[in-house]
Structures are given as C-alpha cells and as structure tokens.
Amino acid sequence: MAIKKKTVLNILLIVFILSFFVTPLGYHSKIMLNRLFAGSADVIPADQRIRIEDYNWRLKNENWEFFNFEKSEGKVVFINFWASWRLPSAAELKSIQNLYNTYKGKVDFYIITDEEQEPVIEFMEENNFDFPVTYLIIGDRSPIPALEPPGTYILDKKGRIVVKKEGIADWDNERIMSLMEDLLKART
C-alpha cells in the first residue's frame, strides 16, 4: 500500500510544528519570531511625563552586593525588568545588549531580575551578554512600580519617565538611539 503525497506532507508539517515544542530549534525559532514582531517603544509627550519622587532604592549588583539607586540621580537611566525563563525577555535582551554597548558609561543601565544568582549567571554566559545585571530586593520600596517582565523605563536627567514600555520592544533602533542622544544633550 503506497502512502499518498498529501499524507507525507501532512506528517512532515506535524513533525515541523512539534519541533517548536520539543526541540532547541523551537526555542530559537520562538526567540526569532518574538524579535521579528517586537515593536518600538513610544515616547511619552513632555507635558505628560511624571517625575519620580526620589532615588532611594536599594538593589544588589551582579556580585550580590547592596547599592543604592541614588548614584543615578541627574543621569539618563535605562531600567528593564526581565526574567531568564520568560521567552519575550530572552528575545528582547539582544537589543538591550546592543544599546548597552553603544551607551555604556554614558547612560546608567539597570537590567533588573528577581531571580536567584546562579540561573542568571548561566543564562548570561549562554547568550554572551555582558551588560550589568541588577537584582531586585523583593519587598523593598521603589521609586517606580516594578513591571511584569519584560518591562522598561527610560528616565531623563531630571528623573522624569520618558518611556514606559510594558512588553517586548526593540531597543536597538534609530528612534531610540536618537532619543538617547537628545536626553544626553539635555541640561539637568
């Protein structure tokens, strides 16, 4: 009994679809699709920007040492909430790495997770990311609400929220680069 061409094509299609759920090919394909459909973040109009109340926010750095967000007062700040196990976060981080490479030393970056240190270190090594990881201290006060990962804020030098993006975005694009340049040129 010969198998029909249509049956073979259906079986191949089913195998291809299943590969998205049970193989590494599926994970990487989902990352690629998330990146492909990631939109750009909207800039909040100047007259609608809210200024954060204060910079008193205790966090931990990649060495698990406490520090205070106050060191970023008067600077342009990029804050991203992420989780290594969230596919949209994983997809977004490559564009954040590129933004970090461009503005390292000019903009303060807070790539914040509430995960334990070990899985984060492993994730960073697997993906060749070297942006600074910041660890959220659950229950401590914060000048801004923590967003569901992925979620991002960009603050200007006066502490006003210029961008608030909930969900995945492409941070490595001309529009964001232009915004960052404008924010860096602005007076405090």
Query: Which residue type is seen at 4?
Result: K
For residue 116 the two structure tokens come to: 């334990």
Mean pLDDT of 166-172: 91
Its pTM stands at 0.83
Percent of the chain clearing pLDDT 70 (strictly above)? 86
Q: What are phi and psi of 79, to 5 degrees?
A: -120, 125
133-135/108-113 β-pairing: parallel
- Give the pLDDT confidence of 111-148 residue by residue, as tens digits: 999 999 999 999 999 999 999 999 999 888 899 999 99
pLDDT for res 180? 97
Q: Where are the domains of the chain?
A: 5-35, 41-185
Alpha-carbon distance of 150 to 141, in angstroms, equals 20
**Superfamily designation of domain 41-185:** Glutaredoxin (3.40.30.10)
Is residue 48 classed as helix, strand or coil in its secondary structure?
A: helix
pLDDT for res 36? 61
Show the DSSP H helices in the chain as ranges: 5-22, 24-37, 87-103, 117-127, 174-185
Percent of the chain clearing pLDDT 90 (strictly above)? 66
At 19, the pLDDT band (50, 70, 90 cuts) reads: low
- Give the pLDDT confidence of 33-73 residue by residue, as tens digits: 655 666 788 899 999 999 999 999 999 999 999 999 999 99
Residues in the chain: 188
Which residue has better confidence, 140 or 89? 140
- Specify whether the CB–CB gap between 109 and 132 falls below 8 A: yes
Mean pLDDT of 4-26: 71
Bridge partner residues of 107 (DSSP): 104
pLDDT for res 40? 80
At 5, the pLDDT band (50, 70, 90 cuts) reads: confident
